[in-house]
Homo-oligomer: A and B are copies of this chain.
Amino acid sequence: MSELQAESNHRVTRVTVWNEFVHERRDDSVRAIYPEGMHTVVGRAIERYLGDTVSVRYATLDQPDHGLGGSVLEETDVLTWWGHCAHDQVSDAVVDRVVTNVLQGMGLLVMHSAHYSKVFKRLMGTGCGLRWRNEEDRELVWSVNPGHPICKDVPSPIIIPRQEMYGEFFDIPQPDELIFISSFSGGEVFRSGCCFGRGRGRVFYFSPGDQEYPVYHNEGVARVIANGVRWCAPSQRDSAALSAPRAPLGWFESEEAHRG
């Protein structure tokens, strides 16, 4: 049986890092921070911490099917999502496929302003609004669930010297597990790290990361993203997850059924 285990330990988590990739091309201030795009910094952070247990690919809005066509999603264990100014340019067909894959088991890591992405709003069922201010607040990210795997080796607080303020009330359903709470120098608070189960999939929302500040270069933030990827990675995937089968009396008594 240790073969099974060995296999499980060496199985590679396939990550697709998705980025809207508009600001970096359009705004000098953003390009100065992320010359190759935010996604590359995020992807390298994941590789740096997770090593050869992970394989990273990239996808962006401007690609055909936003880079998520064919079997990309079916071959993705964890999708990370960053968007801000072009949420409405994401096609509904792609949104449907992302949501379906999450409900079947794909992990989803939702970053910063993607709180307002179509994908996140669909999975939450709420408005996902929040208070905001872009005036260089200092953000402190505090762990409130220090035994959780997402907190492993993460300082509490993570200190982000300059950052956009995101404040409560954040219109999400109560998270299944609340991991981080941030304070801002202006006095606001925010539930900045939130875990949700949706269908067979896991969703982790992590708010630090505005395009105007070098937040994804912060090592504490990078560590959280890597831990989040690992937490979101599915145990198993079920392509029949969205069915609603009729179950004849005693259906589970056949051997096949209870073998699982």
User: Whose C-beta in chain B lies nearest to the C-beta of A2?
Assistant: B51
**Closest Cβ–Cβ distance, residue A23 to chain B (whole Å):** 19
Query: Is A56 in contact with chain B by the CB < 8 A criterion?
Result: no
- Is A199 in contact with B126, judged by CB distance below 8 angstroms? yes
**B residues in contact with A127, CB < 8 Å:** 103, 199, 241-242, 244
Bits for A228-260, please: 1 = Cβ < 8 Å to B, else 0: 000000111010011111111110110001111
For A213, list chain B residues within 8 Å (CB). none
| CB-nearest residue of chain B to A154 | B260
Minimum CB–CB distance from A108 to chain B (whole Å) comes to: 12
Complex: how many Å from CA A197 to CA B144? 12
Stretch at the interface among A25-33, A58-66, A78-86, A163-171: A163-171
Contacts of A154 in B (CB 8 A): 260
Q: Interface-forming stretch among A14-22, A69-77, A89-97, A180-188?
A: A180-188
Which residues of chain A have a CB within 8 Å of any CB of chain B?
Answer: 1-6, 9-10, 47-53, 99, 103, 105, 116, 122-127, 129-133, 135, 138, 140, 142-149, 151-159, 165, 167-171, 173-174, 176-178, 181-189, 191, 196-202, 220, 234-236, 238, 241-250, 252-253, 257-260
The reply to whether B202 and A147 form a contact with Cβ atoms under 8 Å apart is yes
Complex Cα–Cα for A152 and B156 (A): 32
CA gap between A130 and B99 in the complex, in Å = 18
Report the Cα distance A47→B144, complex, angstroms. Answer: 33
> Cβ of A99: which chain B residues have Cβ within 8 Å of it?
125
Complex formed: what's the CA distance from A202 to B253 in Å? Answer: 34
Name the B residues within 8 Å of A181 (CB-CB).
Answer: 168, 181, 189, 191
